[in-house]
Structure 1
């Protein structure tokens, strides 16, 4: 991992990014939330975090990356037809794209779904955003159609006492 260029799409407050930086990655994080980025700067002032949408950053990024990942971030909230070609273009050959989010909440509810985000400040109205939910098999098909190989998708069971597992999808840029 030392020296590998890595991109976190939807880095939030920077925890995953800080870990990768600590083990030697040349890592950058992108998030649309100024509140989350302020938390990242406060806790880890050395992190390279940028306020932008995933699509805009990927369209203008000057580098290629060994890995692009999204942990409950931009990959869940961006239309795959828009995001996947941009991710593929920014990955170096053999680079890894991985993302995670909750499995679909309801059987049969696939594709774009309305998602309510709790307000950051008490008393504010909730924010409604779209998220893209698919079964693992469908994610494999979507990611393969976007030009990735060795695509896997699985639901990792939840820890004891939790109700929801984690969907993990991974593919390689050919």
Structure 2
């Protein structure tokens, strides 16, 4: 239950999504940690009626955009606080939300999906040896898996500790994350049966920011 508490805490700390983006749109897709930066939903190739799954959907902004594009949008998050926030923020969006762990959902669900995505979500915080084969089994032939996260710190690869701060008089909560360089993600995706895998680091936008965003994509 430590992970659930950690992500509930994170939900309370993360600011609310803007009501519109720089283009004046009320829903949009953002793979990076920077607003109005990087590619959008075209990475997933969403078609009307496609079944789309967000692993670690958080407050549901990217999933709401998938729904606006006509997808059957399904979101999974381990935090009930995040699920409630998503439902409150997007009451009119056609989204189905599940409060559960990503691998458990994939193993227990009978659904299959045309696209699975994770934006700084469950793919970063779940052992790929367990999660990738579970995704592969639920991805329809030719379907897309895409995910983004921070690039690894040089020399720090594999399972790492990630800290979520609480109040000043409390120790931070710790969750695990899995950091790999792009070439290693390509190898892992290939090993678990995905085809045409790619992974790259998108540079940060101009300005003082220096940390890019790792974006990976593969097909079922």
> TM-score normalised to the size of structure 1?
0.94
1:18-97 to structure 2, matched below 5 A, reads 18-45=64-91, 46=93, 47-97=95-145
Secondary structure of the structure 1 residue equivalent to 2:161: strand
Secondary structure of the structure 2 residue equivalent to 1:76: coil
1:76-155 to structure 2, matched below 5 A, reads 76-104=124-152, 106-119=153-166, 125-155=171-201
Secondary structure of the structure 2 residue equivalent to 1:69: strand
Q: Report the aligned-residue RMSD.
A: 1.4
In 1, Cα distance between equivalents of 2:214 and 2:49: 28
In 1, Cα distance between equivalents of 2:214 and 2:62: 17
Q: Which runs of no fewer than 5 residues in structure 2 stay unpaired?
A: 1-46
In 2, Cα distance between equivalents of 1:55 and 1:33: 14
In 2, Cα distance between equivalents of 1:25 and 1:125: 41
Structure 2 counterpart of 1:158: 204
In 2, Cα distance between equivalents of 1:154 and 1:38: 33
In 1, Cα distance between equivalents of 2:204 and 2:176: 24
Secondary structure of the structure 2 residue equivalent to 1:74: coil
> TM-score normalised to the size of structure 2?
0.75
Deviation at 1:125, TM superposition (A): 4.1
Q: Which runs of no fewer than 5 residues in structure 1 stay unpaired?
A: none
Secondary structure of the structure 1 residue equivalent to 2:124: helix
In 2, Cα distance between equivalents of 1:160 and 1:14: 27
